[in-house]
Copies of this chain bind each other. A is one copy, B any other.
């Protein structure tokens, strides 16, 4: 068996092994998005991928490990897209608008990933049955956002406010935008993102 505990790194993995892992992760995303975390059994994921259950066990030490890889892959894909869009921005105001709109823009083409991510975040638990992710897994994001707010406050763009509360609110507003869009696919995601950027900007500025 391979895959001990290398999280998202791809250290010693052969090309073919990497391909299998990617295929399985993709299947997991689609199955979770379709039937929900609770009904996404390894059997279903394997069937969807056209492989046998054993393959999954071979490449991933456990179901939990597979789930964590799903989160890792989806997360970094989003991060890459957003980072690219935000590169070179100067003002905090621009950064915030760009953040909201670029993440919306990206998720519009990755609906299944969005749903799967939420399902896993909300449901995955560690062996001692405490939530594996949950809101505290966003600490890194909160920190990054707070940094932007601090920037804006220092530059005089923003008034003084509690940056942690703002980060939590900002983050949840984006999540809710997606959740609403997932439940109502005809909802105009980009318009919502623009409007939301306005709200945040107004809440922040002097």
Chain A interface (Cβ within 8 Å of chain B)?
A: 1, 35-39, 43, 122-123, 125, 129, 131, 134-136, 161-162, 165-166, 168-169, 171-173, 175-177, 179-180, 182-184, 191-192, 195-196, 198-200, 202-203
Contacts and interface: CB of A to CB of B under 8 A. Distances in A.
Nearest to A171: B176
B161 A199 contact: yes
A162 B197 CA distance: 12
Contact of A36 (B43, B131, B135, B203): B131
A177 to B, nearest CB: 7
Nearest to A205: B202
A177 B171 CA distance: 11
Contact of A195 (B125, B161, B176): B161
The 9 closest A-B pairs by CB, nearest first: A172-B176, A199-B203, A165-B195, A169-B173, A203-B203, A172-B172, A135-B179, A162-B195, A202-B203
12 contacts: A35-B129, A36-B131, A135-B179, A162-B191, A162-B192, A162-B195, A165-B199, A168-B173, A169-B196, A172-B176, A172-B179, A202-B203
Nearest to A165: B195
B123 A36 contact: yes
Contact of A198 (B161, B172, B177, B200): B161
Given A38-B123, A169-B196, 12 more contacts: A36-B125, A122-B123, A134-B183, A135-B176, A136-B183, A136-B184, A162-B195, A165-B195, A169-B176, A175-B176, A199-B203, A202-B202
Nearest to A192: B165
Nearest to A175: B172
A192 to B, nearest CB: 5
A167 to B, nearest CB: 10
B165 A196 contact: yes
B192 A135 contact: no
